[in-house]
Amino acid sequence: DAGVIQSPRHEVTEMGQEVTLRCKPISGHDYLFWYRQTMMRGLELLIYFNNNVPIDDSGMPEDRFSAKMPNASFSTLKIQPSEPRDSAVYFCASSPGTGGYTEAFFGQGTRLTVV
Amino acid sequence: AQSVTQPDIHITVSEGASLELRCNYSYGATPYLFWYVQSPGQGLQLLLKYFSGDTLVQGIKGFEAEFKRSQSSFNLRKPSVHWSDAAEYFCAVGNFGNEKLTFGTGTRLTIIP
């Protein structure tokens, strides 16, 4: 398997524009996570899915953020409208199972810059 | 609520020297503990994990960590670092039945010749 695949790797957009980040988890993994990494706040869990169903979105900062997982092989994180403070590296991760016995496999991240 | 503290923001070590990165956690029950490494421009890679059993855990790249319940610590060690170990290291805590991992703020490791 190629691992968790995120696209794009880099995104530069203007304030107010819509941004869509994409993630393809590892095949067979039941859990998918979206994290945000900034210098100020470190790694924050935004939302995670189990079998395509959102389980916990308490980390989503505002209504401007939304995430979907229409099928087991694809997820999106959308920011609309984007703001400069959304600039960060966004990571997608997937894991095979439950109970904490398994590790999360991370993608390489999308570096978002909002100007 | 679970939390993780990595008290050292930045550590510099000479190549060949030993390394210890500190991690303290807060959680009421037995935690699941992880160490991840992040190279520049890359995602996080799991180094090792502790769930139960032997408190000394061996990981990849020659790393090990020891779970000490009495000190609420899970420090990462390596007897002799290599220049390729320069990266950011994250400690994380999880718990049974909840897939959420809480990460520490990370420790940046610099290796000098």
B44, B46, B95, B105, best to mutate vs chain A, most A CBs in 10 Å: B44
A98–B97 CB contact, under 8 Å? yes
The one-letter amino acid at A10: H
Q: In sequence order, what are the residues at sequence separation of 6 or more whose Cβ sits closer than 8 angstroms to the Cβ of residue B66? A: B55, B56, B57, B73, B74, B75, B77
Residue A20 confidence (pLDDT): 98
CA B68 to each of CA A1, A97, B28, B72, B93: distance values in angstroms, whole numbers, following the listed order: 36, 26, 14, 6, 14
Residue A111 confidence (pLDDT): 96
Nearest CA in chain A to B107: A42
Q: What's the average model confidence in pLDDT over A6-11?
A: 96
CA A6 to each of CA A35, A106, A109, B81: distance values in angstroms, whole numbers, following the listed order: 12, 9, 6, 31
pLDDT at A99 over 60: no
Span A29-60, pLDDT tens digits:
999 999 999 988 889 999 999 999 999 999 99
Q: What is the separation of C-alpha A68 from the centre of its chain, rounded to a whole number of angstroms?
A: 10
A106–B105 CB contact, under 8 Å? no
A26 CA: distance to closest CA in chain B (Å) = 14
Of residues A24, A71, A88, B81, the one with CA closest to residue A79: A88
User: DSSP class of residue B17?
Assistant: S
The one-letter amino acid at A103: E
* Residues in chain B closer than 8 A to A42 (CB atoms): 103-106
Q: How far apart, in whole angstroms, are the C-alpha atoms of residue A49 and residue A94?
A: 9
B97 CA: distance to closest CA in chain A (Å) = 4
* Residues in chain A closer than 8 A to B106 (CB atoms): 42-43
Q: How far apart, in whole angstroms, are the C-alpha atoms of residue A49 and residue A45?
A: 12
CA A5 to each of CA A27, A69, A92: distance values in angstroms, whole numbers, following the listed order: 11, 14, 8
Residue A40 confidence (pLDDT): 85
B43–A108 CB contact, under 8 Å? yes
Cis peptide leading into A8, omega within 30 of 0? yes
Residue B96 confidence (pLDDT): 67
The one-letter amino acid at A59: G
B44–A91 CB contact, under 8 Å? yes
Which of the four pLDDT bands, split at 50, 70 and 90, describes residue A97?
A: confident
Nearest CA in chain A to B31: A100
Residue A98 confidence (pLDDT): 58
Residue A99 near chain B (CB below 8 Å): yes
Q: What's the average model confidence in pLDDT over A51-77?
A: 94
Q: What's the average model confidence in pLDDT over B36-50?
A: 92
A7, A43, A92, A95, best to mutate vs chain B, most B CBs in 10 Å: A43
Q: What angle do CA A52, A2, B64 make, to 5 degrees?
A: 95
- Three-class DSSP category at B69: helix
Name the one residue in this structure whose structure tokens are 């520049």. B40
User: What is the average pLDDT score of chain A?
Assistant: 92
Q: What is the 3-state secondary structure (H, E, C) of B28-57?
A: CCCCEEEEEEECCCCCEEEEEEECCCCCEE
